[in-house]
Amino acid sequence: MTFRKFAFNNVVRNKRLYAAYFFSSLFTVMVFFTFAIFSFHPSLSGDAMNSSVNQGMLVSAGIIYVFSFFFVLYSMSFFLQSRKKEFGVLMIQGMSMKQIRKMVFLENMLIGLFATLGGIFLGFIFSKGILLLAEYVLIIENSLYFYFPSQAMVLTFVSFVILFFFISLFVSYVLRSKKLIELIKGDKRSKGEPRANLFIAIVTVILLAVGYGVALMVEGLTVLAVMTPVIIVVIIGTYFLFTQVSVYVINKLRKQESIFWFKTNMILFSDLSFRMKDNARTFFLVAIVSTVAFSAIGTLFGFQAFVTSSAKINNPTTFKYAASIAHEYDEKEVELINKTLHDNNIKANEEQTILRYHPIANDRILIANESEFNRFAKLIGEESIDVPDGQMYVVEYEGVSFGQTDELLKETVELSSGVTLKPNDVIYSQALPATDSYYVVSDHDYDILPNTTDEEYFHAWQATDGEERVLEVAKTLNESMAWNKFSSREFQVYDVKRSYGPIMFVGLFIGIVFFVSAGSFLYFRLYMDVDDDKHKFKSIAKMGLSEKEMRKVITRQTAILFFAPIVVALAHGAVALTALSHMFYYNLFTESVSVLSVFFTIQIMYFFIVRFYYTKQIKTVVQ
């Protein structure tokens, strides 16, 4: 057995220990590679997408790379910590620090090489799926065909070989100045409980309360202003929540003998406080990383919902055609629309009218009559209104208004009969396509209005059948008509989603990377203690702990580890998304709840999987 063979055997025969580190490395490589496949795709790097998107992709790849570096580094230091005892034994047998470094370096390069190759291989297998997904999310017209991603492969391989090389060098730092006695007793020594201080605990609660309070109360652009201080306060609060408040609570519980000495609680809580110092840091890290993931993805979905809904608000009907009579109106275009609808077997209700603008207060203001307003209101399912003669209403566009409603309320309109109309109320409606506010008068008064400055032809269609073909029709019609005349709701929504797609994709990617890494941290934390737990349950089982009770303890222990930080992250995420919705004055409740519950569901599934394997591990020694 030569030294190299020894290092090799040490890895190959200790798969479980290395597995966690290997798979998190593999996953990291895979994520980076799929991202690279995507950003190097010929149809994206060409003219199909503008260079700013490409730039964005590169920056995102950079972020993923930097994050990967720290993630792999963290995984490795965890992995090395769990092997203290082994290093101690080796050093007693006469292994020098130099040889340990050499061994860990070789191991790391071995793991790194296989993780890189494996990650590229898996990424390659999944690449078609990823490209299809990207096509769907990004809404790219010319499809992302499968290609051989040689550029992405080279980039990933080189980047990660370099990354693993530097991380391997870092080993000497992690293992520095470790005394042999500490190494050999490494497994058994507790890092101890952090001391809990009531004062800090109270300050923590206040910090979090203030952070949350401010985040929930402010509105509009103030949200941006308070964002950074709130984030800092909440991060500090979270840190002390896990290092102080949790310890304080556990210590209080320990003193409550009726709780602490109740059945299996003693095993559970004693372990919790024993591992609290290690756990607290993991909890903090996981909570923050998950919060970033939740907030990023929540924000993206929320923002998408926000812009899509604006597109829908601006287009209450399936199609609309508006053109000034004097300059733009072309009868043939309306015929073309009707013909195309007919050819594509799309049935639609339609209304048309001529909108008249009047010079009022140095502006051109639309005045509509009651019956035309009601026709269009009916088309989009709004209630009709009743305007008596001699009366006038101001209509403000419902949803997005650039209206001078207040100004219009002050103005009057003089009819040719000499009667002066004064607006007496405001109506909110989307019936007519004016984002500026306008007046509506009775049909009788309308006929005796003074002369108009200009007239606009307006035609709206609301599809009742064949909606699935609407988008295609809109695309063809768009080609033959100016964008300011013809517009389609489906196409507007589609267009928003398309222009928003790349950001969405990048954000989703990064969010998922963060979330999965958080899961990985938890896994490492759990498996650091697996040998301790084996010993513990082995001894307790001898005293008469049934398998059912053992499962219960493991379940609770794992549940606390998995859900304590996630619940905190969910709360943070919910507050962050609420603040965001206050900033846009747009209700993000549905989006927030769905994003957060998807994450929570994934976490629950992850919990059950890990618990299953952990219990199985423990059961191997408890018979």
Minimum CB distance to another protein smaller for 86 or for 350 = 86
Strands 347-360 and 363-369 come out as antiparallel
| Whole-Å CA distances, 518 to 73, 296, 557, 562, 603 | 14, 15, 18, 10, 10
If the CB atoms of residues 93 and 150 are measured against another protein, the closer one turns out to be 93
Distance CA 435, CA 405 (A): 11
Tell me how far apart the alpha carbons of residues 522 and 556 are, in angstroms, rounded to a whole number: 15
Closest CA relative to residue 18, chosen from 77, 72, 79: 79
CB of 172 to another protein, least distance (A): 12
Distance of closest approach, residue 14 Cβ to another protein, in angstroms: 4
Smallest gap from residue 3 Cβ to another protein (A): 6
| Strands (DSSP E) found in 304-431 | 319-324, 347-360, 363-369, 392-397, 413-414, 420-421, 423-429
Which of 96, 464 has the CB closer to another protein?
96
Q: How far is the CB of 301 from another protein (least distance, A)?
A: 47
Q: Tell me how far apart the alpha carbons of residues 342 and 473 are, in angstroms, rounded to a whole number.
A: 11
Question: Least distance in Å: CB of 112 to another protein?
Answer: 19
**CA neighbor of 115 nearest in space, from 153, 83, 161:** 161
CB of 179 to another protein, least distance (A): 8
Nearby residues of 571 by Cβ (< 8 Å), 6 or more positions away: none
CA 509 to each of CA 35, 133, 296, 423, 505: distance values in angstroms, whole numbers, following the listed order: 8, 12, 10, 53, 6
- 469 phi and psi angles, rounded to 5 deg: -95, 0
Tokens 């639609």 map to which residue?
348
β strands within 235-346, DSSP E? 319-324
Pick the closer one to another protein by CB: 191 or 342.
191
Chain mean position to CA 434: 35
Residues found near another protein in the complex (CB under 8 A) = 1-3, 6, 9-10, 13-14, 86, 89-99, 179-181, 184, 188, 535, 538-539
* Residue 10 or 617 with smaller CB distance to another protein: 10
Q: Is 452 helix (H, G, I), strand (E, B) or coil?
A: coil
Judged by CB, which is closer to another protein: 8, or 494?
Answer: 8
Q: What's the closest the beta carbon of residue 75 comes to another protein, in angstroms?
A: 20
Q: Which is nearer to another protein, 94 or 544 (CB)?
A: 94
Q: How far is the CB of 7 from another protein (least distance, A)?
A: 10
Cα–Cα distance between 416 and 420 in angstroms, integer? 9
The least CB distance from residue 180 to another protein, in Å, is 5
- The smaller minimum CB distance to another protein, of residues 94 and 418, is found at 94
Most distant pair of Cα atoms in the chain: their distance: 112
- CA gap 196, 440 in Å, rounded: 69
User: Do 438 and 367 form a contact (C-beta atoms < 8 A)?
Assistant: yes
What DSSP state is assigned to residue 380?
A: T
Least distance (Å) from another protein to the CB of residue 565?
31
Residues 6+ apart with CB under 8 A from 442: 369, 370, 387, 388, 389, 390, 391
Cβ proximity to another protein: between 103 and 323 the closer is: 103
Report in angstroms how near the CB of residue 535 gets to another protein at its nearest.
6
Instruction: Supply the minimum distance, in Å, between the C-beta of residue 86 and another protein.
Output: 7
Least distance (Å) between residue 541 CB and another protein: 12
CB closer to another protein, 95 vs 313: 95
Determine the 3-state secondary structure of 426 from DSSP.
strand
Nearer to another protein by Cβ, of 182 and 257: the residue is 182
Nearest residue (CB) to another protein, 184 versus 307: 184
Nearest approach in angstroms of CB 96 to another protein is 3
Least separation in angstroms between residue 15's CB and another protein is 10
End-to-end CA distance of the chain: 36
Instruction: Determine how many CB atoms are found less than 10 A away from the CB of residue 186.
Output: 17
Contacts for 92-98: CB closer than 8 Å, 24+ residues apart: 92/180, 92/184, 97/175
Residue 337 is which amino acid? I
**Please, which residues have CB within 8 angstroms of residue 387's CB and are 6 or more apart in sequence?**
370, 393, 440, 441, 442
- What does residue 390 show for φ and ψ, rounded to 5 degrees? 80, 5
- Identity of the residue, 17 or 460, whose beta carbon is nearer to another protein in the bound complex: 17
* Tokens read off for 608: 């059950």
The bridge status of strand 423-429 relative to strand 392-397 is parallel
If you count DSSP H runs as helices and E runs as strands, how many of each does the chain have, helices first?
Answer: 23, 10
- CB-side neighbour CA atoms (13 Å) of 270: 11
Instruction: State which residue, 247 or 395, has the beta carbon closest to another protein.
Output: 247
Residue closer to another protein, measured from CB, 86 or 436? 86
Q: Is the Cβ of residue 434 or residue 541 nearer to another protein in the bound state?
A: 541
Nearest approach, Cβ of residue 57 and another protein (Å): 43
